[in-house]
A and B are shown apart, each in its own frame.
Chain A
Amino acid sequence: MKAKAPLNCYFNHERIVPAVFLVLSFLAWQISGLTGSFVLNQVITRFIRDGLLVLALIIPVVAGMGLNFSITVGAMAIQTSLLLVIAYNIEGVPGILLVMVIGIFLSVLLGYVLGRILNRVKGKEMITTIIIGFFVNSIYQLIFLVGFGTVIPVFNQEIILTRGIGVRNTVDLGMYRNTIDKLWLFSIGEIQIPLFMILIVLLFAGGIYYILHTRFGRQVQAVGSAAETCAVLGIDTDRVRIKVMILSTVLAALGQFIYLQNIGMFDVYTAHLNTGIISCAALLAGGASIKSAKVRQALLGIFLFHTLFIVSPQAGQHLFRNAALGEYFRSFVAYGTIALALIVNVGNENRPIQRK
């Protein structure tokens, strides 16, 4: 009845992957010559920026839908609402609240559509979410590069390109900057700790943990493990999956909002592009797989992955006198982690099955 040998416990991906990342980032940090406090400050910033986006991935993984690359859709939802609010010159706290309201509304809607789509492509969710991400991106561009100034009237001329059509590449978020970032900011030596924001991320982490331990969470787990059996047990698989996608999309939208206001500048056409890939890689770096993910893996993964991400260009500079090599290395790590996770996971999944 004891299924796993003790050896297996220590040498599974849950431990190996984070260990490899730990070693890699430590080595890269040593080579880079960056000070520990600089790296730590940067990692804390990234933790706040990307925390929610990574957390948004957990529930779809548990529901058996794999890595949800379409969190970019949630990101675009909040960006849309942000641009709309800026276009109509609504500033300050009411502006922020309005951004949230419209963004959440949009992402619930889009999450529902995503859920419906993914219910039609069971077993192929991941490739579909990637394509959806690209597809929605082209619609997003169509709206803001072509639609703004032609079909949609804009009252804030500052964000429009000089030709009168389309939004500029970068939009300043000056009017919302540092509203919540600097709350409860502590300094320990050279290390700055924005306690409030960290607490926000941890609060959401706690929220995800909580949801996974409710009745709904149990249903999600059941659907992820054996979807066909669930129907017999009185669980509506399709509805659970739609709810999961809505939840994930809303979380991604909120995550992107935190990300943007932390940066203070908003690259209209590129800010969301890599969120899916980077967040997925970070989650996997923490030891999650495409079949199982835990909150602590997400939190750990953000730290490990972003440490490597921050130090590798400098490490490349020092090692080869070429910073570009460090850049290549980090995109290789991001894509490679996901590729490896897929190969290992799916391979293990296939092994016992003989037919099909």
Chain B
Amino acid sequence: MPWRCQGKQGWTMMFNNLIKLPQLIISVFLLVLIAVAWLLQMDMATLFNESLVKLVMNGVLVMSLIPMLNAGVGLNFGLPVGIIGGLLGMCLAVNFRMTGFYGFCMALLFSLAICAALGFIYGLILNRVKGREEIAGTFIGFSFIPFMNFFWTLVPFQNREMLYPIGGQGLRPKISLENYFNHILDNFCVIRLGDLEIPAGLLAFFALLGLFLYWYFHTKVGRAIIATGENEAFSKLSGINISRTRLTAVIISTVIAGVGICVYTQSYGFIQLYDEPLSMAFPAISAILIGGSTGKRAFVFEAVLGTYLLQSIYLLTVPVANQLLIPELTEILRSFITYGIILYALLVRETRRDCR
């Protein structure tokens, strides 16, 4: 009916403007933090260098959300599934004492295989809970973690550097990558310009991944994924196999999440096992929302922008909070921003859907 479609356009325009609101607030907040940091005479060059590393470190995980979002499966609150696949891949590489680039590549390869298998199962489950993927994903992720804790405890890995030194059973919660592939991408082809250090290799890796996603969503399958996400019934009428399309998207998402945690870990320096992946999904989700995604469709650019904004804030709040003598403030502000953004996006998205 014409009156309805006119109303819808009005609403969309209104919300297209409104969705920029959190971006605006976040940017202003970031500027204030930068000003404070400058006033506190912190080393801006170091902060900038670090921000670039942080961008890629978290950015790959954020990008992993894109395929599922575009397929209409929603925000991937089950990110721990892919993360655990990646952790397992790295553990295998470390166990076989594979070092350097060879080690990192093998870790990626292992992760790829494991995540593809996990993603397949995860995708089948998500197809079953169509319409409630987000809550189901949350709890699939949550319950997968204690399940894997069994595994970490009982797995017969041989490398002493991975095991509890004495009096414990199973893998350590934090496995150092010092002798394996610590900072392997971070330190690859670093360009130095005075104080600035540009991690060109790391950024190139990131750019490559971004280009892959961009290319993929222009291929025939990619376009089918986007159409399915936008209008499932339309795709079905055009002969697209909805379940298979969604499954593909979930597998790709899971695989990229596995790659993401490998990149994250080589920067961080330690493989973090056990309950560590539990809350990793939320900052990633809030990053892509800050980037301007509506929670229905996402672009590579949004992932990059959102990650950079959010991670720079995280980075800056640490020294600022320390100066204020309340170190806990960092963590509190992080969760405040993270969850606030997600909540806001949920509210706006659902209201938009009502108008359809």
Contacts and interface: CB of A to CB of B under 8 A. Distances in A.
In the complex they form, do A and B come into direct contact, defined as C-beta atoms under 8 angstroms apart? yes
Interface of A: 66, 117, 120-124, 126-128, 130-132, 134-135, 137-139, 141-142, 145-146, 163, 165-166, 277, 320-322, 324-325, 328-329, 331-332, 335-336, 338-339, 342-343, 346-347, 350, 355-356
B128 A347 contact: yes
State the main secondary structure of chain B at its contact with A. helix
B136 A346 contact: yes
Contacts of A141: 328, 332, 335
A132 B150 contact: no
Among A66, A124, A322, the most chain B Cβ lie within 10 Å of the Cβ of: A124
A332 B125 CA distance: 18
Contacts of A277: 142
Contacts of B147: 328, 332, 336
Interface of B: 77, 125, 128-132, 134-136, 138-140, 142-143, 145-147, 149-150, 153-154, 169, 232-233, 282, 325-326, 328-329, 332, 335-336, 339-340, 342-343, 346-347, 350-351
Nearest to A140: B332
A198 to B, nearest CB: 31
A346 B139 CA distance: 13
A342 B135 contact: yes
A163 B153 CA distance: 40
Contacts, number: 135
A115 B319 CA distance: 39
Interface of chain A, main secondary structure: helix
Given A132-B343, A342-B136, A335 B142 contact: yes
23 contacts: A127-B77, A127-B134, A127-B346, A128-B347, A131-B339, A131-B342, A137-B335, A139-B336, A141-B335, A146-B326, A146-B332, A165-B325, A320-B169, A322-B153, A324-B169, A329-B150, A332-B150, A335-B143, A343-B125, A346-B131, A350-B130, A355-B233, A356-B131
A130 B336 contact: no
A134 B339 CA distance: 7
A350 B129 contact: yes
B164 to A, nearest CB: 11
B279 to A, nearest CB: 9
Nearest to B148: A328
Contacts of A138: 332, 335-336, 339-340
Contacts of A117: 347
Contacts of B143: 332, 335-336, 338-339
A342 B132 contact: yes
Contact of A124 (B130, B335, B350): B350
A131 B332 contact: no
Contact of B128 (A122, A322, A350): A350
Which A-B residue pairs are the 7 nearest by beta carbons? Answer: A335-B143, A339-B139, A135-B339, A332-B146, A335-B142, A328-B149, A138-B335
A337 B149 CA distance: 17
Contacts of B336: 135, 138-139, 142
Contacts of B77: 127
A328 B153 contact: yes
A217 B325 CA distance: 52
B150 A356 contact: no
Given A124-B132, A342-B136, A355-B233, 12 more contacts: A126-B135, A127-B138, A135-B339, A146-B332, A166-B328, A322-B153, A335-B142, A335-B146, A336-B146, A338-B142, A343-B140, A346-B131
Report which residue of A121, A122, A320, A355 has the largest number of chain B beta carbons within 10 angstroms of its beta carbon: A121
